[in-house]
Structure formats: structure tokens, C-alpha cells
Amino acid sequence: MSKNQSKKTPDQAKKPEGKTFENDRKAAAEVVEPETVEAEATADDLDETARLIESLQQELAESKNSLLRAYADTDNTRKRLLKETEQAKKYRFQSAALELLPILDNLNRALAAKPDNPEIENFVKGFEMIQQQFVTALTNEGVAEIEAEGKPFDPNFMQALQTEKKEGVEPGIVTEVFQKGYKLKDRILRPALVKVSE
């Protein structure tokens, strides 16, 4: 061997012979290990993110459900209040009508007793006009008399106080009205008090 061949270059002197492969393997391992750790960390992060997304989706579903329930409750309350308002408006005259009906009864009783004295006929005519105005005012507010005399007995609108056998009259027919009944639109103010045939 010549002297030139046996001499090593400075680069060759730094690297020990036979250890090049080992050094490359260690260097590669150093590079691969952080990637593996990062991949594991990324998988954990993905699992955590998936759990978080699932949790948020559950919360969103619960919030939607609560919102729908609140909307339904609000809508039901609105409908109920609207119905109550309509009912109050429709039957606003009920308490006044109940106060006025006894006055109309007394007026009717007074007019039923026809006096024989011709001097008070003008007074009677005046009271008849007042009665007519009274009935018209009640009718304008939706108060109507329940037609009972000569009609079949209806327990929804009438209350039987007496029964009697009457020839030529079928059973269950109203033969006499003791007190007139009235209704306000479709609501009974008071039933008619009647006598019914047997």
C-alpha cells in the first residue's frame, strides 16, 4: 500500500469505521419518535374533540327541546287568554242582566193585573211602553226569553215545579210558566220555572 492510500481524509477521521449504520439508525429513531408521540397526542385530541362535539350536540338538542316547550306553553297561554277575553266580551252583560231580570218580572206582574179603572189606562200604556223598551234593550245585548209554554219540557232550559194531568195534552208538555227563563246568547241566565203535563 502506498502512503497516499493509507492516509485518511479529515472527514474520514471524524467518523469511526463500522459505526455509520448504527449512527444513521439512531438519528432516524430520534426523528421518528417525536412523530409517533405527536400522532398519539393527535389521536387523544381527536377523541377529546369528538366527546366535546357530542356533548355540545346534546346540549343543543336539549336547548331546542326546551325552546319548543317554551314556545308551546306561550302559544297555549296566548290561546287561553284570547279565549278568556272573547268569553268576557261575549258575556260582559251577564251580571247586569241578572240584576235587571227581577225588575222586568215585577213590571210584567204589574201589567198582568189589568185595572178596571179607565182613569189609569194612560198609566198602564206608559208602563207597557217602558216594558217594551226594557225588553228591546235586553234583546240588543243578546238576552232572549226562553219559549216554554206549549213546548215539550227541556231540562236544559226549564225546571219543572209541578206536574198535572190535563185532557187533550200529551205528557211532557209545558202547560204553565211560573217564571220566565232567559238566556244570554248561548248561555242560560236562568231556567224557566214551569208546570208540566203528565
What is the domain range of residue 113? 91-197
* Contact (CB, 8 A) for 182 and 190: yes
Same domain, 66 and 78: yes
* Final residue of a structural domain among 88, 107, 127: 88
Same domain, 53 and 101: no
* Contact (CB, 8 A) for 160 and 194: yes
Same domain, 162 and 144: yes
* Final residue of a structural domain among 88, 104, 126: 88
> Which residue type occupies 186?
D
Tens-of-pLDDT digits for all 198 residues of the chain?
A: 444 444 544 544 444 454 555 555 555 555 444 455 455 557 777 888 888 999 999 999 999 999 999 999 999 999 999 999 988 888 889 999 999 999 999 999 988 887 777 788 888 888 899 999 999 999 999 999 999 999 999 999 999 999 998 888 899 999 999 999 999 998 999 999 999 998
